[in-house]
């Protein structure tokens, strides 16, 4: 049965430690992608490697650290990267398309909807979309953006309602300890819930070429799972490894989910929107939001932070400052400050608002 899959390949899998593209690696991954494509899968590739591919061409002796130098390297490297993929995939009769995205695209509902429509049309035409972050125009420092595209791949998988996200790394899954340091470390075959204990097992970045370590990959798996997409983190180094990863017998760790894919609106709220403020609530409101499936009312609000207006997205936290979720607020900051802790009846007498709910349950997503 054909599936919709997102494959993420990092810089260290595509380039040498000294920089520049490894054509043999790209040829191998093209073969693996083509194999799934022949089986009828709708394949999407999220790739890193633009900066690593381009910095030697510019004349830098090492991967640059200054933002404008990284952006210059990405401008050169992105063209080289796409050319390499297109040449490799064309040997299998496959057309590749380039899509460059930024966080700003995801935070704008219209722009990300347009991106989704483009991807859907490409898949309909049996074209493989090759997605990367638009490093040359991104305003944040590159190392702080998508975590070596791990997070980007999870967002794309959730947005396109993929069946599986395959994150390729040089480790064959998640271990109880670093197996390179402790041979007695045990591999974790399957994860159904990403707890804080699971997060603590992840280390830092793995190489000087890439920027994402196991932690960013687990965080990406959590985003994918929350969006109803199962994930695989592991090795794809031998012929057929990608098929094995998709089919359930891969060399890595599987992150299973029982959640259903989220509607686009909920995805935008939870993963793409930029909160304009923060609302602290009491224990009663926590229970109502997380257990009762209720709307947030003024009576449960204890504090506000930021300058928000009706229609803005806000984070909601408990008294320990733990994020519970996000929602579209119906109050301006000054209105909510005046209404906080009051009964709904009292609020209608004191504050002129169009809706009594601070955040309606239909405009809310739980993240805890």
For the annotated binding site for substrate, the residues are: 48, 135, 149
Q: d(Cα 219, Cα 204) in Å, to the nearest integer?
A: 13
CB 89 within 8 A of CB 34: yes
**DSSP letters of 296-316?**
B-GGGEEEEEE---TT-EEEE
Q: Which residues contact 143 (CB under 8 A, 6 or more apart)?
A: 211
CB 167 within 8 A of CB 220: yes
Q: Which residues contact 334 (CB under 8 A, 6 or more apart)?
A: none
For the annotated binding site, the residues are: 8, 48, 135, 149, 169-170, 211-217
For the annotated binding site for ATP, the residues are: 8, 169-170, 211-217
CB 227 within 8 A of CB 262: yes
Q: d(Cα 169, Cα 171) in Å, to the nearest integer?
A: 5
| Contacts made by residues 308-311, CB under 8 angstroms, sequence distance 24+ | 308/276, 308/277, 308/332, 308/333, 309/276, 309/333, 310/353, 310/354
Token representation of residue 176: 């109880």
Burial (CB count <10 Å: 0-12, 13-18, 19+), residue 200: exposed
């Amino acid at each position: 049965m054909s599936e919709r899959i997102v494959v993420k390949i990092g810089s260290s899998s595509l380039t040498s430690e000294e920089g520049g593209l490894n054509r043999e690696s790209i040829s191998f991954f093209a073969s693996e992608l083509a194999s799934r494509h022949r089986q009828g899968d709708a394949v999407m590739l999220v790739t890193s490697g633009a900066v690593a591919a381009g910095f030697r061409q510019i004349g830098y002796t090492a991967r640059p650290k200054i933002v404008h130098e990284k952006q210059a390297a990405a401008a050169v490297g992105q063209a080289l990267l796409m050319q390499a993929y297109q040449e490799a995939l064309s040997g299998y009769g496959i057309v590749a398309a380039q899509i460059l995205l930024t966080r700003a695209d995801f935070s704008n509902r219209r722009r990300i909807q347009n991106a989704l429509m483009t991807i859907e049309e490409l898949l309909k035409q049996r074209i493989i979309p090759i997605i990367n972050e638009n490093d040359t125009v991104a305003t944040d420092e590159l190392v702080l953006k998508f975590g070596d595209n791990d997070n980007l791949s999870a967002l794309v998988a959730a947005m396109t309602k993929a069946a599986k996200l395959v994150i390729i790394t040089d480790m064959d899954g998640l271990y109880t300890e670093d197996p390179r340091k402790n041979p007695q470390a045990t591999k974790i075959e399957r994860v159904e819930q990403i707890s804080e204990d699971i997060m603590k097992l992840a280390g830092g970045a793995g190489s000087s070429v890439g920027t994402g370590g196991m932690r960013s990959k687990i965080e990406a798996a959590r985003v994918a799972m929350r969006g109803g997409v199962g994930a695989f983190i592991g090795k794809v180094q031998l012929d057929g490894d990608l098929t094995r990863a998709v089919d359930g017998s891969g060399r890595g760790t599987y992150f299973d989910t029982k959640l259903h894919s989220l509607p686009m609106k909920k995805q935008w709220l939870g993963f793409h929107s930029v909160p304009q403020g923060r609302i602290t609530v009491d224990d009663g409101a926590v229970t109502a939001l997380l257990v009762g499936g209720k709307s947030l009312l003024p009576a449960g609000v204890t504090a506000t932070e930021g300058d928000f207006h009706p229609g803005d997205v806000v984070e909601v936290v408990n008294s320990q400052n733990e994020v519970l979720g996000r929602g579209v607020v119906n109050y301006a900051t000054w209105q909510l400050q005046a209404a906080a802790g009051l009964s709904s009846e009292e609020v209608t007498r004191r504050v002129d608002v169009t809706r009594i709910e601070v955040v309606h349950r239909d405009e809310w997503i739980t993240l805890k």
